Structure 1
Amino acid sequence: MILFPKKLSSFEVVKKSREDFKHIDIKDFDIDNVPVVYIQRDKKNLYVGKSTDVYGRFSAHLKDPKKTFTEIVIIKSTLFNESSIKHIETLLIDHLMADEKYHLLNIIKGQNIHSYNGNEEVNNIFIKIWERLIEEGIASEPLKDIHNKFIYKYSPFKSLSDNQIEVCQGTLHTMLTKSESQSLITGDPGTGKTIVLTNILYALVYDQKTGKQREGLNREEVALVIPQNHSLGSYKDLVRKVGLHGITVLSPSQFIKKAQGRENKFKYVFVDEAHRLKQYFSKQARDLKHLITPGGHTTELELIARYSYHLTIVYDQYQTIRPADIDTSHFKQLITDYTKYILHKQYRLKSGNHHLAWLRKYLQIANDVAVYEKDVLIDYDFKVMNSISELYDSITKLNQKYELCRVVAGYSWKWATQKDKDLYDITDPTTGEGYKWNSKTKGWLNQKNSVEEIGCIHTTQGADLNYIGVVFGEEIDCDYAGEEDGSYDLNKANIIVYPEKYKDRNGLPIKGTDVNNEELKTYIKHIYYVLLSRGINGCYVYATHPNMQKYLQEVVKLSQL
């Protein structure tokens, strides 16, 4: 007879007080010497732990002056084992920190979770555990709301892949064993570049073996540089809430100004989204004065490196979108001597592993990786819509179900609502419906009325959404409409751009310098690459030019055969 193992489908909650653990000679044998996960609580704080000897563990907690807990919630099951309690502990630390009802005292991250027998069962039962914690007043927000929060997505408490762990450990080891270092972390959108960066930063401050702040580390010597102004506030909030307060979080120009006023370099500097670091561009001269030198101009990367003993940057060469962003070829020259780390697997998009290479191929950005068309959109909701209105209405309905679903567009419409809020910026050429650009840039994605507006590239780069709707504007087209017999050859299609239709004044190269509009075409294609790679569950698209719309339809048709 074959006995099938029981599935982990239920758990028990046992509530205790601090007094219950003060008398070690009186034990509850239902929780003694069995695998459990526990949550300590007082009026303001929580602490999450796991143990197979909970009474022994609590004898240490009672001696810790920081542990002022009065109540203990213990989660147990007859089917718990070492792997499952490690997993649940990690999930609780990650989610309770993002819930923010209580201050989480944990400073050592949960275990990195590898595949094991029962992994999915724990993920499923955690949904029920979280619901119980809401009932107990320990948690407050539903899981779907937690998962949409910036602090959850990019917290240093995330479990990492083997590749991500290797990058973290390699970079950290270099910083701790050398007097100076320069490290570059690269990878496609969704490979976890930001999560890796926050993990390195956290492990630099807190020794993960002892749980104590690293000896000799001065937080004032650590800086996090964020080129995306719309994200700066979110990073400041994240750093404060995960216990990294005291670390400097600044834009590149703010960092350079602060560094120039110091006697010594910053010891540790981290730069996220380094592809948005600036070079001098005369159209934005007022904002780029800090790049002017006696001999000409420099770049933000060179200045930041000058004021750093240890510099770690993350970079994606396909996300430069303006002439003021450091030119890709020049950037590569500047990082020649950097120690390079590559993140290989993307985790954002619920699609095939070749999705991003597929996007680059058909946006005609790069064709350097073989793309297996058949499975590229498997389990991913990618649709070509028939109008802006249909796309907008679909994303609005998805937002009601999933939240954090937004419509964005290429920058090919004037921003009329900046001067008159009663006007519309974008008109659907099919239905005549009017729509408005984003009313703000900073924090737009989480603004209540953002679902009613259409965002530009400057609201979304570096973010991820549950669904995204992307409108291909009037500045981008395809010069091929298909054959007379109705057949279509994708190899004959060529993406073209119309400079006169592109309305980002600071996105246009200096007149007369861009031969055949090749530089502008690169920026515009990069913009759509960034926009199209934001949606976790799906992406809906529509193109205002019929030839571009036909091109998108044929690309999707080929990928769904």
Structure 2
Amino acid sequence: MLAYLANKAQFLEDAHIIEDLVRDSVKENLGIGVSQNEYASWRNSLGNGMSHIIASPEIPDDAGIAIEYQINKLKNRIDFIVSGKDAQGEESIVIVELKQWTEVDYSELPEHVNTFVGQKKRDVVHPSYQARSYASLLEMYNVYVYETPVNVTSCAYLHNCPELEVVNDSRYEEALRNTPVFIKGQKSEIVSLIASQIKTGDGVELLRKIDAAPTRPSLQLAEAVSRMLQGKEAFVLIDDQKTVLESIVKAAHDGLDGKKQVLIVRGGPGTGKSVVAINALSRLMGQRLIARYVTPNAAPRAVFEVNLKGAFKGGEIKELFSGSGSFTGIEESDFDILIVDEAHRLKLRTQYSKGGDNQIREVIHAAKTSVFFIDEAQKVTWKDIGEVSEIEKFAKSMNAEVKHLELKSQFRCNGSDGYMTWIDEVLGVIADEETTYPESSYDFKIFTNPSELYKEIRSKNEINNKSRMLAGYCWDWVSKNNPKLDDITFPEFDFSAKWNLESRGSAWIIDPNSIEDIGCIHTSQGLELDYVGVIVGPDFKIEGGELVSDPEGRASTDVSLHGYKKEMKEDPISAGAKADQIIRNTYRTLMTRGMKGCYIYCTDPEVAKYFQNRLSR
């Protein structure tokens, strides 16, 4: 959807008030509020920046100009588009990503740079990568663009930045290959790029066709995703997984022309929730439905994106996997189906988005069919609201047809339902005093020395890079601001390690060097390993022979319990029970990441003794 549309001549006439015109158009056409910073950026980038570029006689007077084009249903917006026809008479557009940055530094994150955004230095996507990803989205999802086809060229323009060295560094070679970046003083270069692709104009006709075209995955993308995902052995379904998959596919088609469909799929750790979700995405994308895999956790999305990166350019991969905070303000039933994994981690309000009220409601509102994979015993932060009763409530309010399904077959922990029940009872997640440790091939050990535990996990990792260390979030993340410091230290055992490095990104768990790091609940939930080593911190202690949680044992930098102290003043009984559930659920989640084994070290010897007694029973 377009905010502003004009030909070159009209745009140049509007240049002196362009920020006002764009502000009004964004509010009216896109229904989006405009901040003072964004308003000022239009004055600088459009009125002072692009108007001088477009005024060049090399660019035809009847070239089309579009500003703030919303390219998909997740509110990604292209800053500036020039349209017309190339030297062969074929329809052509040039995308320009505009940045206000005055200086840019290197980032440790791949395809990122470090610069001031919102008065603070942050790691942000390289502008050429961003521009190219937007071009990819058009090529893969806009029916008119991929069926005609329209020639799409992209570039980035940092009109306030005087230094090219960082943004043009060889480390960004892939991003720069087809999407150059221009800086202050390179007016002639960007004019030459636009003029080479736009030889003649056609007014605004092409842009109107693009704006009016439906959004649907191209056959090329649908077939590629289907091949990539269905061809992996890890995604072969059996028993109740197959039943749930076929139920999802049927519901998706029922929802196209009938009532909204809401499917609630319950399943514990290792029952294949993510496997079924990805298979459903693959099947429905192959049928060219507008589908998204949604999860509040960044880690699973990052791993999927890394695994698929070789097949796609980048932008279209991210389009398949969305965070749960992406649906505020979306038109009703814009998506054919939204598949929400880890639905227990949904939040009340979407951070950084104005107007969000409840992520469950937003998902159901935005999709004809919505699927929620849920395990309420994996709610691990104060803000997690994902509950079956809440999903049912919002589904009923929107007159949706609700269906309940369940995944029971256990595939993690060597298929040991016995271990799953045992660890739930030992941690106090369920009450079952008769449970004993099962006679199974699952490998559970208790270490009295964290260095020995780390050594064993390293040894297991040498086999296939599928073993990692995790810990309860009981140590402040001091290395974030001072990389010379370690976060988790036990001097008496000559043990010292950092939380997983921010530079490795959310896909840290598959980085071969991340065996040096320790992960936490926020970076491991939704993923699985062969062997997991877990450090149980001081948020557990023993009182009267029972395992008792202690919220004071959590780190000050952990957001999981933010809200606990405030609620303790208002309702201490409720707050205590909620904090207790979060701590127990956290360790349940950490201790069920391992397919073959879980090894633990407890900072409190009495807690270690408790586990040992339960293991020996």
Question: Would you say 1:197 and 2:277 are equivalent positions?
Answer: yes
How many Å separate the matches in 2 of 1:496 and 1:355? 21
2:323 aligned to 237, 244, 251, which one? 251
Q: Is the 8 A contact 1:387 1:542 kept in 2?
A: yes
Q: Is the 8 A contact 1:411 1:503 kept in 2?
A: no
1:413 aligned to 463, 475, 489, which one? 475
Secondary structure at 1:373 match in 2: coil
Q: Is the 8 A contact 1:383 1:540 kept in 2?
A: yes
Note the aligned Cα RMSD (angstroms): 3.1
| Structure 1 pair 226–105 and aligned structure 2 pair: CA distance change class (3 A) | closer
Equivalent runs, 1:74-473 vs 2, <5 Å: 155=232, 158-178=235-255, 179=258, 180-206=260-286, 214=287, 217=288, 219=289, 221-236=290-305, 248-253=320-325, 255-257=326-328, 260=330, 265-280=334-349, 287=351, 289-290=353-354, 292=356, 298-326=357-385, 328=387, 331=390, 334=393, 338-367=402-431, 372-373=435-436, 376-428=438-490, 430-440=492-502, 441-473=505-537
Q: Is the 8 A contact 1:319 1:526 kept in 2?
A: yes
Q: Which moved more, 1:403-412 or 1:262-271?
A: 262-271
How many Å separate the matches in 1 of 2:362 and 2:222? 37
Measured after TM superposition, the shift of residue 503 of structure 1 is: 3.1
Question: Would you say 1:513 and 2:584 are equivalent positions?
Answer: no
Measured after TM superposition, the shift of residue 232 of structure 1 is: 2.2
| Structure 1 pair 275–242 and aligned structure 2 pair: CA distance change class (3 A) | farther
Query: What's the CA shift string for 1:502-560, capped at 9, x where partnerless?
Result: 334422234241325222121111110110000111110010011111111111112xx
| Structure 1 pair 159–153 and aligned structure 2 pair: CA distance change class (3 A) | closer
Measured after TM superposition, the shift of residue 230 of structure 1 is: 2.3
Aligned to 2:609: 550
How many Å separate the matches in 2 of 1:407 and 1:108? 33
Q: Is the 8 A contact 2:360 2:391 kept in 1?
A: no
Secondary structure at 1:350 match in 2: helix
| Structure 1 pair 468–335 and aligned structure 2 pair: CA distance change class (3 A) | farther
Aligned to 1:529: 588
Measured after TM superposition, the shift of residue 234 of structure 1 is: 2.9
How many Å separate the matches in 1 of 2:234 and 2:611? 39
Measured after TM superposition, the shift of residue 455 of structure 1 is: 1.1
Query: Which amino acid letter does the alignment assign opposite residue 386 of structure 1?
Result: T
Query: What's the CA shift string for 1:257-292, capped at 9, x where partnerless?
Result: 5x62x5862121111111111114xxxx9x254455
How many Å separate the matches in 1 of 2:225 and 2:461? 34
Query: What's the CA shift string for 1:396-421, capped at 9, x where partnerless?
Result: 11111242111110111111111211
Query: What's the CA shift string for 1:19-66, capped at 9, x where partnerless?
Result: xxxxxxxxxxxxxxxxxxxxxxxxxxxxxxxxxxxxxxxxxxxxxxxx
Q: Is the 8 A contact 1:182 1:312 kept in 2?
A: yes
How many Å separate the matches in 2 of 1:197 and 1:156? 15
Secondary structure at 1:341 match in 2: strand
| Structure 1 pair 553–186 and aligned structure 2 pair: CA distance change class (3 A) | same
How many Å separate the matches in 2 of 1:478 and 1:342? 35
Q: Is the 8 A contact 1:274 1:313 kept in 2?
A: yes
Q: Which runs of 5+ in 1 are unaligned?
A: 1-102, 110-150, 207-213, 293-297, 481-491
Q: Is the 8 A contact 1:320 1:523 kept in 2?
A: yes
Q: Is the 8 A contact 2:444 2:597 kept in 1?
A: yes
Query: What's the CA shift string for 1:76-113, capped at 9, x where partnerless?
Result: xxxxxxxxxxxxxxxxxxxxxxxxxxx9989988xxxx
How many Å separate the matches in 2 of 1:540 and 1:414? 23
Aligned to 1:48: none
Aligned to 1:209: none
The alignment of Structure 1 onto Structure 2 pairs a total of residues equal to: 378
How many Å separate the matches in 2 of 1:549 and 1:535? 19
Q: Is the 8 A contact 2:225 2:282 kept in 1?
A: no
Q: Which runs of 5+ in 2 are unaligned?
A: 1-220, 397-401
| Structure 1 pair 153–435 and aligned structure 2 pair: CA distance change class (3 A) | farther
Query: What's the CA shift string for 1:356-414, capped at 9, x where partnerless?
Result: 1211111101127x96525x251011100011111111111111124211111011111
Q: Is the 8 A contact 2:336 2:368 kept in 1?
A: yes
TM-score, L = length of structure 2: 0.56
Q: Is the 8 A contact 1:357 1:367 kept in 2?
A: no
Query: Which amino acid letter does the alignment assign opposite residue 310 of structure 1?
Result: T
TM-score, L = length of structure 1: 0.61
Q: Which moved more, 1:467-476 or 1:429-438?
A: 429-438
Q: Percent identity?
A: 25
Secondary structure at 1:166 match in 2: helix
Q: Is the 8 A contact 1:407 1:468 kept in 2?
A: yes
Measured after TM superposition, the shift of residue 311 of structure 1 is: 0.7
Secondary structure at 2:581 match in 1: helix
How many Å separate the matches in 1 of 2:487 and 2:521? 15
Q: Is the 8 A contact 2:364 2:395 kept in 1?
A: no
Query: Which amino acid letter does the alignment assign opposite residue 440 of structure 2?
Result: I
Query: Which amino acid letter does the alignment assign opposite residue 249 of structure 1?
Result: F
Equivalent runs, 1:7-86 vs 2, <5 Å: none
How many Å separate the matches in 2 of 1:327 and 1:504? 23
Query: Which amino acid letter does the alignment assign opposite residue 513 of structure 1?
Result: E
Measured after TM superposition, the shift of residue 497 of structure 1 is: 1.1
| Structure 1 pair 386–152 and aligned structure 2 pair: CA distance change class (3 A) | farther
How many Å separate the matches in 1 of 2:317 and 2:560? 36
Q: Is the 8 A contact 2:222 2:285 kept in 1?
A: no
Measured after TM superposition, the shift of residue 156 of structure 1 is: 8.4
Secondary structure at 1:507 match in 2: coil
Measured after TM superposition, the shift of residue 475 of structure 1 is: 1.8
| Structure 1 pair 422–252 and aligned structure 2 pair: CA distance change class (3 A) | same
Secondary structure at 1:511 match in 2: helix
